[in-house]
């Protein structure tokens, strides 16, 4: 624990300069004048034990006076620095403050105690890029840069092409969420690094994280643009990457952006509606292996170690259940990700609490609790035989957005759940 030995990034303010923090340097890059290649400054992203991050910078003369080298991934104690307002758009860290390193700043490298996370990503759903692009008007960029995660659809290796500032290296690739693909072009040193990291023996589908990026438009098409601070990771060994790969494989994804799930070729027959009580007591009376159920969310449960999902307590007036809501579903319902909701709930102290009717709760909590959700449930042999009360909900959606009578097909905007071992998926009745 940092305790009283170190200050916390989330507690920094502009009132003094005798701060002392213990951080991991997760990103380092120079600010370079394109025309002259002169270094105008040095930039870093610091991350602390609380998973709070902040952009730090030093002017060249200050950095020379400090006389240290910072390596991405290493831990450091940094003391004596100024805290200022973070100015401009496309800030590399979602913090309204930044750190200015001074000549008097002291930096000491530390051994890795593994208490500070290796990375912090705040993923932006690829499915929302077009909507977000339409909000960017008059060339005014959003306040913060974005992180995106997706599968590599196509990769065109490094080549040199002539530009108005001379010959430059470029790498082009496309990244997909399994439904829509977006083009990316990287130039110069970033292109060289990406080309070196993209190896033919990478596990497929190759999952890329583009960190500190922006949304651009070219010839009417939404694309993902890079910044001097951008870094691209391939198959990073973190849970969101393995979970996203599992989702794509379950949905039948193949490189090229196609999901072969039959939705666009043959219309499915109407789904039979079933109450949860019927699923438990008489599953043998159901005429189909897939059924429709609708339930209301009553409570959000605590689950500290989950990414991209939340566990909720729900019921359909006949039976109670636990339901796993994946990030895409949560994003459409609440306008933010499951991870953000859990973080906000922890800060507000609402985790694992039964909030009484009429009590004050946060906006985010209110958008989930009380929400009616429909699910398409695929029944297993164990479900039909009455041997299992865990059901796979292959699609979840907001019924108010899809006025359904006889359900002829699952809404295109719904999303499948992750299929991972050691995690209860879909709906568990009890």
Lowest mean pLDDT among 212-216, 289-293, 359-363, 396-400: 359-363
- Of 361 and 349, which is predicted with more confidence? 349
Using a pLDDT cut of 70, give the percent of the chain over it.
75
* Residue-wise pLDDT tens digits, 107-152: 999 998 889 999 999 998 887 776 666 666 555 678 899 999 999 9
pLDDT of residue 185: 94
Report the pLDDT value the prediction gives residue 355, as an integer from 0 to 100. 45
Residue 209 reports pLDDT greater than 70: yes
Structural class in CATH, domain 9-110: mainly beta
pLDDT of residue 220: 76
Q: Which residues contact 193 (CB under 8 A, 6 or more apart)?
A: 231, 232
Instruction: Name residues whose C-beta falls within 8 Å of residue 63's C-beta, 6 or more positions apart in sequence.
Output: 42, 101
Give domain 272-429's CATH architecture: Beta Barrel (2.40)
User: Higher confidence at residue 394 or residue 240?
Assistant: 240
- As a whole number, mean pLDDT of residues 305-312 equals 65
- Domain spans, the chain: 9-110, 126-258, 272-429
Return the percentage of the chain with pLDDT > 90, whole number.
43
Measuring CA to CA, which residue among 272, 274, 250, 191 is closest to residue 418? 250
pTM of the model: 0.64
**Fold of the domain spanning 126-258:** OB fold (Dihydrolipoamide Acetyltransferase, E2P) (2.40.50)
Distance of alpha carbon 235 from alpha carbon 201, whole angstroms: 11
Reduce the secondary structure of the chain to three states and give it as a string: CCCCCCECHHHCCCCCCCCEEEEEEEEEEEEECCCCCCEEEEEEEEECCCCCEEEEEECHHHHHHHCCCCCCCCEEEEEEEEEEECCCCCECCCCCEEEEEEEEEEEEEECCCCCCCCCCCCECCHHHHHHHHHHCCCCCCCCECEEEEEEEEEEEEEEEEEECCEEEEEEEEEEECCCCEEEEEEEHHHHHHHHHHCCCCCCCCCEEEEEEEEEEEECCEEEEECCCCCEEEECCCCHHHHHHHHHHHHCCEECCCEECCCCCCCCCCCCEECCHHHHHHCHHHCCCCEEEEEEEEEEECCCCCCCCEEEEEEECCCCEEEEEEEHHHHHHHHCCCHHHHHHHHHHHCCCCCCCCCCCCCCHHHHHHCCCEEEEEEECCHHHHCCCCCEEEEEEEECHHHCCCCCCCCCCCCCECCCCCCCCCCCEEEC
pLDDT for 78 equals 98
Lowest mean pLDDT among 11-25, 194-208, 258-272: 258-272
- Confidence band, pLDDT 50/70/90 cuts, at residue 29: very high
> Would you place residue 346 in the very low, low, confident or very high pLDDT band (cuts 50, 70, 90)?
low
Beta bridge partners of 204: none
pLDDT band of residue 4 (cuts 50, 70, 90) is low
Band of residue 307 on the pLDDT scale cut at 50, 70, 90? low
* Average pLDDT value for residue range 216-239: 91
What are 258-305's pLDDT values in tens digits?
333 333 333 445 778 888 888 888 888 887 888 888 888 888 776 554
Cα separation of 396 and 378, whole Å? 12
**Residues 77 and 108 sit within 8 Å (Cβ to Cβ):** yes
pLDDT digits (tens, 9 = 90+) for 79-91: 999 999 999 889 9
Same fold, 9-110 and 272-429: yes
According to the model, what pLDDT value does residue 214 have?
93
**Nearest alpha-carbon partner for 216 in 231, 227, 232, 228:** 227
Predicted confidence at residue 337, as pLDDT, reads 66
């Amino acid at each position: 624990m940092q305790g009283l030995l170190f200050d916390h990034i989330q507690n920094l303010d502009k009132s003094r300069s005798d701060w002392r923090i213990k951080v991991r340097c997760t990103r380092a890059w120079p600010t370079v004048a394109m025309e002259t290649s002169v270094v105008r400054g040095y930039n870093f992203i610091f991350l602390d034990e609380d998973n709070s991050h902040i952009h730090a910078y030093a002017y060249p003369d200050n950095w020379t006076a400090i006389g240290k080298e910072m390596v991405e991934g290493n831990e450091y104690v940094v003391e004596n620095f100024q805290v200022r307002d973070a100015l401009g758009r496309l800030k590399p860290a979602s913090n309204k403050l930044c750190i200015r390193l001074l000549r008097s700043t002291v930096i000491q490298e530390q051994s890795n105690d593994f208490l500070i996370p290796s990375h912090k990503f705040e993923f932006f759903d690829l499915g929302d890029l077009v909507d977000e692009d339409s909000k960017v008007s008059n060339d005014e960029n959003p306040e913060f840069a974005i992180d995106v995660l997706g599968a590599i659809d196509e990769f065109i290796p490094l080549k040199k092409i002539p530009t108005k500032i001379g010959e430059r290296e470029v790498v082009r690739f496309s990244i997909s969420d399994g439904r829509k693909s977006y083009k990316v072009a990287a130039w110069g040193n970033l292109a060289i690094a990406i080309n070196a990291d993209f190896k033919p023996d990478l596990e497929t589908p190759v999952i890329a994280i583009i960190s500190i990026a922006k949304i651009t438009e070219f010839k009417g098409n939404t694309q993902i643009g890079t910044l001097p601070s951008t870094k691209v990771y391939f198959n990073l060994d973190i849970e969101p990457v393995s979970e996203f790969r599992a989702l794509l494989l379950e949905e039948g994804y193949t490189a090229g952006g196609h999901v072969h799930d039959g939705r666009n070729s043959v219309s499915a027959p109407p789904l039979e509606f079933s109450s949860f009580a019927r699923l438990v007591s008489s599953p043998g009376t159901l005429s189909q292996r897939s059924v429709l159920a609708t339930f209301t969310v009553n409570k959000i449960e605590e689950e500290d170690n989950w990414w991209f999902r939340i566990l909720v307590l729900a019921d359909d007036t006949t039976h109670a259940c636990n339901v796993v809501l994946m990030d895409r579903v949560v994003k459409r319902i609440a306008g933010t990700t499951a991870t953000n909701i859990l973080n906000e709930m922890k800060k507000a102290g609402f985790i694992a609490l039964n909030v009484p009717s009429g009590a004050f709760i946060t906006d985010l909590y209110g958008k989930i609790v009380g929400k009616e959700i429909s699910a398409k449930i695929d029944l297993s042999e164990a479900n039909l035989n009455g041997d299992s009360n865990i059901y796979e909900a292959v699609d979840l959606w907001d019924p108010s957005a899809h006025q359904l009578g006889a359900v002829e097909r699952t809404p295109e905007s719904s999303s499948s759940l992750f299929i991972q071992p050691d995690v209860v998926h879909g709906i568990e009745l009890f």
